A and B are shown apart, each in its own frame.
Chain A
Amino acid sequence: MAKTISKILLYVIVILGALTMLIPFLWMISTSLKTAPETIKVPPIWIPKQLQWGNYVAAWHAAPFGRYFINSVVVTTLSTAGTLFTSILAAFAFARLKFWGKNILFVIFLGTMMIPGEMLIIPNFVTLSHLGQIDKYGALILPWLASFFTVFTLRQTFQSTPDQIYYAAKIDGASDWKYLWTVLVPMSKSTITAVTVLQVIGSWNSFMWPLIVTNSESMRTLPVGLQAFTTDAGTQYQLLMAASTFVIIPMVILYIFLQKYIIAGISKAGLKG
């Protein structure tokens, strides 16, 4: 009896907590489907009389969200692909190759992970403006083509693959380069997926840097564009919420499909980093 009660209590608490987590999302979607007068009804209504799907179309056209979306896709894709490429190569060097100064270099990079990224903003802004890249894709992408965090995580995985597989590949006639791309990378698929997804989420949601390096409307990424949109939308909360929804949706879909990789990635990186 006592066991049943505590079980019920447990579920009640967990469900209440889950509701707290969900309410902002539900409220966002609910508002996004209301008419303007419905948004300011007191007490609030959760399900609008008629679902105003038109709000999404209106919001999409109220600001150049199509352009923002393309920018976000371009920046996210290129910086993730670039980071993966540079990190896989570097992680392989740290995990397998023999070279002078390996440990020192590794410690230096570990040390740089201690530095708050916000400190780098000013010098990077200066560098990129001297390179004439401000308000261009260059500024949005270049600094994010390398991530030591990714190198570190991949190195751990590469090191944990059995030595004998490496020897077998050598005996079978694979060069280091071939071994990396035909054996090691396919074998590390789950870690690579995990770091990729984390990179994509981070890049898609990043705000401060794109805010600083973009001036023109046509270069804004989604979060920056959404932020700017609040000034235009004013109190039209149904449009704001519709816009927020389509900024959030891609990552939520990604998350739902790749949940197990994201969680594996976080635990791997988090527990070791």
Chain B
Amino acid sequence: MLNEKPSLKSSAIALLYLLPMLVISITFHIYPIISSFAMSLYTKYDFYTDKVGGLGFDNFVYLWNDPDFHLAVKNTLIFVIAVVPITVILSLVIALLLNQIKFLSGFFRTIYFLPFVTSTIAIAMVWNWIYHSDYGLMNYFLGWFGIHPIHWLTDPNYSLLALIIMSIWKNLGFNIILFLVGINNIDDGYYKAAEIDGANAFQRFWNVTLPLLSPITFLVSINGVIGSFKVFDEIFALFQGTPGPGKADLTIVYYLYQKFYTEYKYPVAAASGVVLFFLILLVTLVQLWYSRKHVHY
């Protein structure tokens, strides 16, 4: 009973409970992880017979020498560096503002959160239309400020920016929710104490809210980084199945998709997946290391 130690019988029973999940997980999550690491080392591979001709680092050498892959990494990094900080700051600000208002606050929360539940593909169609250089809303609004029409989706200089703007818009809601939860979790006592200590509104924000929100900020940025590194759907829909004008929106996952799905270079695609994994791991570790020093719990 309660003080029972795990035994053969109790383990066997537990296994029955775990079995359905284990079967699916091992087949479609665990085995593929091992398999894709292995596949990235295949130098000769026949998909139809599943025969491996040799092992080596050829695929990584291929990536090292492929200007497309360099471009994909560069675009991905630009995308992450632009999207994550802006999303984090904007969503923090909006969460703080939403937390200040009482009237209709539920209604506003609903609106801000709406993009999260929306199909990326469908909403990217809408943005595709908004970005239309002749009849799109974006250029129309910019026209109010005397800005000449921009070829958002066909000019390589602007197409990555177009992707970034849409992605920030789509990601805001999710992060606002997390920040709102974090803000609500802060004990009112801290504010009262700070007020008694003579802290003004800004000092309270700077010395109470911000440090106490740092775990959430950390979480939001990790989530943001991981999500942004994997951007794909937005590109596919916004540029209608192309990686943007002159590959200006080619990202790592898009590269993986191309190598895998249109060029059938499975091992190269697998290798790019491995690179993606290590990039994410590296950035996450850097963030963890940074948070150890700066996140207050």
Is B30 engaged at the interface, CB distance under 8 Å to the other chain?
yes
Q: Does B270 contact A (CB under 8 A)?
A: yes
Interface string of B3-15 (1 = CB under 8 A from A): 0111100110111
Render A1-43 as a binary contact track against B, CB cut-off 8 A, 1 for contact.
0000000001101100110111111011001000000011111
Q: Is the CB of B177 within 8 A of A267?
A: yes
Q: Are B273 and A24 in contact (CB under 8 A)?
A: no
| Nearest-neighbor residue (CB-CB) of A207 within chain B | B233
Q: Are B269 and A122 in contact (CB under 8 A)?
A: yes
Residues B6 and A23 in contact, CB atoms below 8 Å apart: no
Residue of B31, B115, B120, B261 near A207 (CB, 8 A) is B120
Instruction: Tell me, yes or no, whether B146 is within 8 Å of chain A by CB.
Output: no
A21 and B112 contact, CB distance less than 8 A: yes
Q: Does B205 have its Cβ within 8 Å of any Cβ on chain A? A: no
B36 near A207 with CB under 8 A, answer: no
Q: Within residues 132 to 179 of chain B, which ones have a CB less than 8 A from any CB in chain A?
A: 132, 134-135, 137, 140, 169, 172-174, 177-178
Instruction: List B residues 40-55 near A (Cβ within 8 Å).
Output: 47, 50
Binds A, one of B60-68, B122-130, B191-199: B122-130
In the complex, what residues of A have CB within 8 A of residue B270's CB?
Answer: 119, 122-123
Interface residues of chain B: helix, strand, loop or mixed (majority): helix
Does B207 touch A at the CB level, under 8 Å?
A: no
Asked if A207 contacts B121 (CB within 8 A), the reply is yes
In the docked arrangement, what's the CA distance between A223 and B208, Å?
44
User: Is A116 touching B277 in the complex (CB atoms < 8 A)?
Assistant: yes
Check A97/B10 contact, CB under 8 A, given A115-B33, A201-B117.
Answer: yes
Of the candidates A40, A86, A123, A212, the one whose C-beta lies within 8 Å of that of B32 is A123
Shortest C-beta distance, B124 to chain A (Å), equals: 9
Residues of A near B126 (CB, < 8 A) are 24-25, 27-28, 241, 244
Measured as residues with beta carbon below 8 angstroms from the partner, the interface class of chain A is 35 or more
A interface residues with partner B (beta carbon < 8 Å): 10-11, 13-14, 17-18, 20-25, 27-28, 31, 39-44, 85-87, 89-90, 92-93, 97-102, 105, 108-109, 112, 114-127, 130, 142-143, 145-146, 148, 151, 167, 170, 176, 201, 204-205, 207-208, 211-212, 222-224, 226-227, 230-231, 237, 240-241, 243-245, 247-248, 251-252, 254-256, 259, 262-263, 266-267, 270-271
A-B contact pairs, 17 of them (CB 8 A): A39-B135, A98-B5, A116-B229, A116-B230, A123-B35, A123-B270, A124-B28, A142-B24, A143-B24, A143-B29, A145-B20, A227-B237, A247-B119, A251-B118, A267-B177, A270-B177, A271-B181
Q: What residues make up the interface of B, taking CB atoms closer than 8 Å to A?
A: 1-2, 4-7, 10-11, 13-15, 17-18, 20-22, 24-25, 27-33, 35-36, 39, 47, 50, 94, 97-98, 100-101, 108-115, 117-123, 125-130, 132, 134-135, 137, 140, 169, 172-174, 177-178, 181-182, 216, 219, 223, 226, 229-230, 232-233, 236-237, 240-241, 253, 256-257, 260-261, 266, 269-270, 273-274, 276-277, 280-281, 284
- Which 9 residue pairs spanning A and B have beta carbons closest together? A99-B14, A123-B32, A146-B24, A90-B21, A123-B35, A119-B273, A143-B28, A99-B11, A267-B181
